Amino acid sequence: MSRVTNSYDETGTYVNSNGQAVPLFVDAPGVIQHDAAYNASFNARGNLTGVTQYSVVSGAIAGSRIIKRIGYDIDEKVN
């Protein structure tokens, strides 16, 4: 049996499949028709940033693995 949790609007970095540290949220100044008030400091956007799968044995969590990480810019485009 397994359990899955979704994480939203995380900040910081993650390591991608190429071994590079990638920010989860990136400022992208100069976006046309973008309200400058919604810059990188406004990170409550409801974007899915991580999916974690847990192994459940006899009702207890026996292990976990991150199965997906997603980064965004301020225009909500996937990095």
List, for residues 38-72, the tens digit of each pLDDT value: 766 776 778 888 899 999 998 888 888 888 888 87
Distance CA 44, CA 12 (A): 14
Give the three-state DSSP class for 22.
strand
Kindly list the domain boundaries of the chain, sorted by start residue.
2-73
Residue 48: predicted pLDDT: 87
Q: What is the DSSP string of 44-74?
A: -S--EEEEEEEEEETTEEEEEEEEEE--EET
Residue 39: predicted pLDDT: 67
pTM value is 0.66
Query: Tens digits of per-residue pLDDT, 13-31?
Result: 888 888 888 888 777 777 7
